Structure 1
Amino acid sequence: MFPHLVMPDEDPFHFISDSCCRLNKFNVPHYMILAENNRVCLVPEDDISICPPKLINNLEIGRFFCKFEGTHYVPNERLRKAYPNDTALIPKILSNQ
């Protein structure tokens, strides 16, 4: 799916959370997380938390976002159309931090 993404040498599936399989049967949403050095992670919603913003070195960033604002990545037009409710919540989320 992402041929240029780096897979870990030691275990190609260690980036997928151990709880992924356990929670999947309960239909918990999972999210693709773009990480440093072109890594991608599949993470259950319950394992996601807010962390300090930072610029990420990942070739896939441009597929979903148009720029980094210092506090968040700005979704590109395609992502805004696909997830209008998420985009609308960005100002509210930022004001609560």
Structure 2
Amino acid sequence: MRFVLPSPRRSRHPLVRALSLLVGVAVIGVLLVFGLVVVSVLLVGGGLLLALRQWTRGRDAKRTAAGVHKPEVLEGEFVVLRQTGPAAH
């Protein structure tokens, strides 16, 4: 089964052709502007997110330098398991 679109009938009137051309260019322009707005919002948002991460990272570094100690050792209760068999040697 083939799906065939009907061929669009082009008007012969020059004013209708010019108007359809202008409408097409306007639609493409609106889509282009919308795409540029979306891209700029994403770029600005990403830049702000990176700046916020760097800013909080800098504040954390100042806190550790100021004497707030972050433990480097994980404390807890652990069980030592002995390995038996040929791999134990």
**TM-score, length of structure 2 as denominator length:** 0.19
Task: Return the structure number with greater strand share.
Answer: 1
Task: Return the structure number with greater helix share.
Answer: 2
Which structure has the higher relative contact order (CA within 8 Å, separation 6+)? 1
**TM-score, length of structure 1 as denominator length:** 0.18
Structure ID, larger Rg: 2
